[in-house]
Amino acid sequence: METASKISIEAQAHLHVAIIMDGNGRWARARGLPRGAGHRKGVEALRQVVETAPELGISHLTLYSFSSENWRRPPAEVRDLMGLLRFHLRSEAERLNQNNVRLRVIGDRAALSSDIVDLIDNVETETRDNTGLTMVMALNYGGRAAIAAAARRMAEQVAAGLLDPRAIDPDSFGGALETADLPPPDLLIRTGGEQRVSNFLLWEMAYTEFVFFDTFWPDFGGRDLERAVSEFRGRERRFGAVGV
């Protein structure tokens, strides 16, 4: 594919890209369509990105699919989003397996309907042995809540005498997060013109590089992903050290 040819094989190290897929509603409004039409068009954009990602050296793709704050949206929109989620969890498992994609879901499942939780469990099980791209969906996810949950788990271990408080450090704390088995994101992409992280992966993105697009998510495609990765590859990541 043309996109992959522009990045040398040597540069294609395993890359973790996180994406805030913003702008579905504004895309629909600009066209006189209901917001749900933007969300459905956004799924098509996601398919393009998932298909292109492995060719750009991306091994992990984490998507801010539904935040813990999104419950504040109009009830009709939330119902539409949940219906869309149900449909694609039922229909996409075969496509994920065909493309050797593993699905992981992070976030608080307690507020999700039991049928959605069952569908998540089923797709995670069906794709767990796939060795290609790991696609992580953040559902009912909030970075602050994730950090608080990890702190609570460690506090419970301390109270039970299983953990010495003096042993708590950034590494051990990171191991208490539900993302402990994932590498930290190398690159965050946000579409839609906004330039903020919106409570997404707050702990994990300590040294993540950011690339922002004015493009609304439904218009985002493989070439845009390539452009973001190319910009990332051209940056010097010092992790607090002095550059060369």
Catalytic residues: 22, 70
Short-list 44, 26, 47, 39, CA closest to 85? 39
Pairing assessment for the beta strands 134-141 and 209-212 based on DSSP bridges: unpaired
- Whether the CB-CB separation of 86 and 119 falls below 8 Å is answered with yes
Query: Which residues in 87-116 are b (16+ Cβ under 10 Å) and which e?
Result: ebbeebbeebbebebbbbbbbeeeebeeeb
What are the backbone dihedrals phi and psi of residue 157, each rounded to the nearest 5 degrees, phi first?
-65, -40
Structure tokens at 136: 């992580």
**HSE on the CB side for 44, CA within 13 Å?**
8
CA distances from 154 to 107, 132, 144, 164 (A): 18, 32, 16, 10
| Euclidean distance between CA atoms 193 and 212, whole angstroms | 7
